[in-house]
Amino acid sequence: MDNFTFFNPTKVEFGKDKEQAIGQHLAEHGVKKVLLTYGSERIKRDGLFSVVSKSLSERGIQIVECGGIVSNPVISKVREAITLARSQQVDAVLSVGGGSVLDSSKAIAAGVRYDGDVWDLFIGKASIDSALPVFDILTLAATGSEMNSGAVVTNEATQEKFAIQSVHTFPKVSIVNPALMQTVSRDYLVYSAADIIAHSIEGYFTATVQPKIQSRLVESVITTVMETTELLLANPKDYNARAEFAWAATLALNGITYAGTSGFGYPNHMIEHSLSALFNVPHGAGLSVVMPAWMKWYHSRNPAQFERFAQQIFGLKTAEEGIAALEKWFDKIGTPTRLSQLGITAAELPAILDNLQGNAQWFGLAGTYTREVLADILKRAL
Amino acid sequence: MDNFTFFNPTKVEFGKDKEQAIGQHLAEHGVKKVLLTYGSERIKRDGLFSVVSKSLSERGIQIVECGGIVSNPVISKVREAITLARSQQVDAVLSVGGGSVLDSSKAIAAGVRYDGDVWDLFIGKASIDSALPVFDILTLAATGSEMNSGAVVTNEATQEKFAIQSVHTFPKVSIVNPALMQTVSRDYLVYSAADIIAHSIEGYFTATVQPKIQSRLVESVITTVMETTELLLANPKDYNARAEFAWAATLALNGITYAGTSGFGYPNHMIEHSLSALFNVPHGAGLSVVMPAWMKWYHSRNPAQFERFAQQIFGLKTAEEGIAALEKWFDKIGTPTRLSQLGITAAELPAILDNLQGNAQWFGLAGTYTREVLADILKRAL
């Protein structure tokens, strides 16, 4: 077990009706005027916006609206929101949406307090020394962003999908009400399942130091995600399944399962980021394509852990059997496992490989993931 | 899954040599003069005290020593320390020791900021509105106090062993260096294992709402504790086993495994608190006696979960087999399973039952745990 620091000051308010107290949480942090970020106008149609604005107005908190944040969120929108936040002199950001809205909000919060261009913070040209306080009401459980300090945003101009992370960008309060997730589409449910499993396995398989207790926690998360995904596909209104799915999503990337783990990378995310940067595929759908292909290429480098995975998750014996079972499960729930299902053909591989050069550098994996290796992995996913 | 709030702002600094930076952590919180609490003079003999005092003096932090805190810590000592802390005008408490020293330190920290008698905070006569910041260097992994806000102290005069809990008593920074635990005696290692298992099972077995994901996390903790205890009995210098054991202890009671769980109680702790209040037995030793007896009495009230326990922890089938296997394992590692091993005979049952009246009230379990029921459980432990 390697040395680690665990620090996660986010307060998670989990459960039914928790969004009704959002005004109180912001008031406790002295917020007077908030940038309310969201995606589509759906939150206005389904009543969530009115619940939130009522709670805020009861505490005398002014709202500056910033809608239109898209999946695979883009830096141009973040820049626009920073300009708005500055001109309106908001003192906090409240994200109402999924991981894309929340990640954008973290970037906005950090960007407002940084004099240069916010993309500098993603490429290491400047560090995050401060940020507006971020709050969120989560409407999709997948990214784990509600209880970590990371944020992933795409620069459309450069086709780079990079991340920030800072002690200043932990949400102050995250509202996770599984009932708000009951209307998530079947597609986004299964993409989310793939995303959570990806967060779980990156460290699990690639760490040079992987404590057994951490493997057990990861397996608990994966088993729960698989079980609850099937329950939700059968009955989207199963509140308890929705809740366990959401808590699994949070646990997969809140630092608990990674404590004491070291020497790991995020190769699946690295490859997927190129797919969504270039083709704007849903992140989870990209990941369910990448994972089986990557596993087939990688497993002989860590055979004991892949055998463990096969056994603990599927009750099977060999690494190959475990990988095949995961791929089959992805097929069963209906998340893609082939690039062709994303509309990507062999003709596009060179462009992906070009884009991956920068990603591999950014992820610190350029040594292992040469163009040749990446071509090998991608071909397995065709 | 029930509604919950998860908030745990403690920074855990885990691993080798982490105690060397203690001065830096206190300085970051603006500490100038600290009450350094500890148990025996062992920390002076083994060099830890000099490491700590060097690190503090490098940051210009003054030390006020307060040694002599005993296992099953007592309120008289807490009162004495509060007087000292006030007269010396310390601005923080640094606990160097195990759970007893840390729990005392939390009580001191809260008591300094309360005008009345500190015991008022334990009996609900007053609430904790503020506390000095608490820091700790943990030398024994068991209680989980390093990453929660609870503290258990005994009032020797009234023979009551009660607890406090407050958002103000989370440690600011907890140093958990497993290497400092290598000299823990064989006895205290196995008592600690019993304590961690007790923390794990109270919710697991008694909750009216127990999410499956939480059961899986608890099973991960228990399996790890059992595995690493055996490794440490064979080789006390196994750093990795020591580390996984310590992290399991933290996870068992830092709120993660209890999130979304509800309707549970702490009946094993309730009974054990009477044993240690009356006979000053080591807390973990008391728990390993109480648990099998309580399980034998309780299991028919939650048969599915006891069958799950038997299967997941021991690969067995029935509730009875699982309980017998745990008892056998306690016997194997050498932590007591009978009151007689603690020197307690049938003649003492009436006194224990008298003491338990108050405990059952305090734990909110008086409805179920009548004198008759408690007598039944205790007789099974003779």
Is the reported ipTM for this assembly greater than 0.90? yes
Which residues of chain A register pLDDT less than 70? Answer: none
Residue of B nearest to A225 (CA): B213
CB nearest to A247's CB, from B227, B243, B260 = B260
Q: Would you list the domain boundaries of chain A?
A: 11-180, 184-380
Longest dimension (CA), chain B: 60
| Chain A interface disruption, residue of B5, B6, B257, most A CBs within 10 A | B6
pLDDT at A324: 98
Considering only alpha carbons, which residue of chain B is nearest residue A226? B213
The pLDDT value given to residue B334: 98
Q: Is A1 on the interface with B (CB under 8 A)?
A: yes
* Token digits of residue A209: 């130091």
Q: Rounded to an integer, what distance in angstroms lies between the CA atom of residue A202 and that of residue A194?
A: 12
Instruction: Write the pLDDT tens digit of every residue in B119-132.
Output: 999 999 999 999 99
CA distance B374 to chain A (A): 35
Q: B246: closest CA among B73, B9, B1, B15?
A: B15
Query: CATH for A184-380?
Result: 1.20.1090.10
Burial of A343 (0-12, 13-18, 19+ CB in 10 A): exposed
Q: Is A357 exposed, middle or buried (0-12, 13-18, 19+ CB in 10 A)?
A: middle
State the pLDDT at residue B338.
98
DSSP, collapsed to helix, strand or coil, labels residue A122 as: coil
Q: To the nearest whole percent, how much of chain B has pLDDT over 70?
A: 100
**Residue A256 CB coordination number (10 Å):** 20
pLDDT score, position A128: 98
CA pair distance B189, B182, nearest whole angstrom = 10
CA distance B180 to B47: 10
- CATH for B185-380? 1.20.1090.10
Question: Taking the model in full, what pTM does it have?
Answer: 0.97
The per-residue pLDDT for B161 is 93
**Separation in Å, CA of A204 to nearest CA in chain B:** 15
Query: From the list B2, B223, B256, which residue is nearest A256 (CB)?
Result: B256
Are A93 and A109 contacting, i.e. CB atoms less than 8 angstroms apart? yes
Using 50, 70 and 90 to split pLDDT, how confident is the model at B364?
A: very high
Q: Does A217 touch chain B (CB under 8 A)?
A: yes
Chain B residues close to A262, C-beta within 8 Å: none
> What distance in Å separates residue B326's CA from the closest CA in chain A?
20
The helix (H) or strand (E) run that includes residue A106 is helix A99-112
Q: Quick: pLDDT tens for B34-59.
A: 999 999 999 999 999 999 999 999 99
pLDDT band at B195 (very low <50, low <70, confident <90, very high): very high
Q: Scanning every residue of chain A, which has its alpha carbon at the shortest distance from the alpha carbon of B6?
A: A12
- The total of other beta-carbon atoms located within 10 Å of residue B347's CB is 7
CB contact under 8 A, B211 and A247: yes
Topology of the domain covering B11-180: Rossmann fold (3.40.50)
Contact assignment for A259 to B6 by CB distance below 8 Å: no
Report the SS3 class of residue B116. coil
